[in-house]
Amino acid sequence: MSRQALRWPLPKHDYWSTPFAESLLQHLDLRPGLRIFDVASGHGIPAFYLAEQVGPTGKVLATDVSAGQVARARAIQGSQLPWLRFECMDMRSLPPDLQTFNRVTGNLSVMFFRPNRFEAIRGLIERLSPGGQLVLTFPSYGTFDSLWQRVDQAMLGQNLTGERERFQIYLNERPSAQDGRTWLEKLDLDRIEVVEYPLEVETGPGHEFLHHPLLRGGFLDDVYECFEDQSLAGRFMADIAQDITRFTPLIAQRCVLSGWKKI
Ligand SMILES: C[S@@+](CC[C@H](N)C(=O)[O-])C[C@H]1O[C@@H](n2cnc3c(N)ncnc32)[C@H](O)[C@@H]1O
């Protein structure tokens, strides 16, 4: 299908999901007629794109644990692409009678496979037909390290011992590219590829940083959660936000895990 003919391209103005989905698509063997299981599908990145590519002879089951996200995706879909279905499902406990697929995808997904990411990936591989491909993406360990170093230094300088301990637990819990490789190797996948693509996230100082739609919606919240006293957290972060030159450029690592189930 030519690029001009695409009715469901990845959204151009999305600075987070789209670049991760682009790296997923670089590794995904995508063809008409495939049956794809997309997990953590949100409001449809990249499920709509995948559905257009597999065409009416294929099938895409896009699933998310959030009923709100599924409703949003269905509203966007309307009666289009009838071979694409959005369903509410927790990827960590999939229905035992779920059919198998030629591809399993999950954009910005692995970090949510808590508490046992290995078991969650095993469950996904069980839904792959022999010869099928798994491709997952997530922001891997190393993402925004310059910021975390700045936060850690500031906590140390201000004797925020308990906060710093909780912060270290948060940092160490993040999955790395090497974790991903180990899981896929243990699960006996073939032709494993684990690649990280850097992505710069732009921000300004002060309010722009503290209320950045990506950072405040997730990454920065994890720092706030290390504080029992939220007004102290507010002052601490406002101080960090004053001089962004100490941690910019902010670089995320888009990690792609890809592997094939042996025949
Ligand atoms: C960062 S969003 C990614 C959505 C979409 N794939 C994208 O690229 O825009 C992560 C999604 O994972 C979903 N999610 C979190 N935990 C999940 C779980 N246990 N099972 C299924 N979906 C989950 C969230 O509801 C959210 O929609």
Q: Please give the Cα distance from 48 to 40 (Å, whole number).
A: 13
Whether the pLDDT of residue 76 is over 80: the answer is: yes
Q: How far apart are CA 9 and CA 48, in angstroms?
A: 8
Verify whether ligand 1 is closer than 6 Å to residue 100 (CB atom): no
Q: Whose CA is nearest to atom 13 of ligand 1?
A: 40
Determine contact, residues 43/21, Cβ cutoff 8 Å: no
CB 17 near ligand 1, within 6 Å: yes
Q: How far apart are the CA of 40 and the centre of ligand 1, in A?
A: 3
In 10 A of CB 39, how many CB atoms? 27
Q: Does ligand 1 have an atom closer than 6 angstroms to the CB of 15? A: no
d(CA 255, CA 20): 8
- pLDDT of 184-220, one tens digit each? 999 999 999 999 999 999 999 999 999 998 898 789 9
Residue 4 is predicted with a pLDDT of 55
Burial label for 197, CB within 10 Å (0-12, 13-18, 19+), is: middle
Using CA atoms, how far apart are residues 145 and 93, in angstroms rounded to an integer? 32
- Tokens 């953590």 label which residue? 40
Q: What local confidence, expressed as pLDDT, does residue 42 receive? A: 97
> Quick one: tokens of 263?
């025949």
The structure tokens listed for 82 are: 């009838």
pLDDT at position 217 is 76
Compute, in angstroms, the gap from residue 109 CA to the centroid of ligand 1. Answer: 6
At the top level of CATH, which class does the domain 3-140+175-200+252-260 belong to?
Answer: alpha beta
CA distances from 207 to 35, 214, 222 (A): 45, 13, 18
- Please tell me what DSSP assigns to residue 67: H
Q: Is the CB of 44 under 6 A from ligand 1?
A: no
- The Cβ-side half-sphere exposure at 216, using a 13 Å CA radius, reads 13
pLDDT in tens, 16-49: 999 999 999 999 999 999 999 999 999 999 999 9
Mean pLDDT in residue range 49-59: 98
Q: Do 101 and 61 contact (CB within 8 A), yes or no?
A: yes
Probe ligand 1: pick from 45, 69, 98, max atoms within 8 Å of CB? 69
Q: Are strands 250-260 and 128-139 parallel, antiparallel or unpaired?
A: antiparallel
- pLDDT value for 48: 98
The average pLDDT across 102-118 equals 95
Asked if the model's pLDDT at residue 2 lies above 90, the reply is no
Q: Which two tokens stand for residue 144?
A: 């925004």
Yes or no: say if 51 and 73 are a contact pair by the CB < 8 Å rule: no
Q: Is the pTM of this model over 0.75?
A: yes
Rounded to the nearest 5 degrees, what angle is found at the Cα of 142, between the Cα atoms of 136 and 146?
Answer: 145
Residue ranges of domains in the chain: 3-140+175-200+252-260, 145-171+204-247
Name 133's Cβ contacts closer than 8 Å, sequence gap at least 6.
Answer: 28, 29, 102, 103, 104, 258, 259, 260, 261
CA-nearest residue for atom 26, ligand 1, is 42
Q: Is residue 144 classed as helix, strand or coil in its secondary structure?
A: coil
| C-alpha span between 202 and 225 (Å, rounded) | 23
- Ligand 1: centre distance to CA 108 (Å): 7
Looking at every residue in the chain, the average pLDDT score rounds to 95
Average pLDDT over residues 110-123: 94
Residue carrying structure tokens 């006293």: 229
Q: What is the Cα–Cα distance from 73 to 188, expressed in whole angstroms?
A: 34
30 lines ligand 1 (CB under 6 A): no
Residue 42 Cβ contacting ligand 1 at under 6 Å:
yes
Strands 190-201 and 250-260 come out as antiparallel
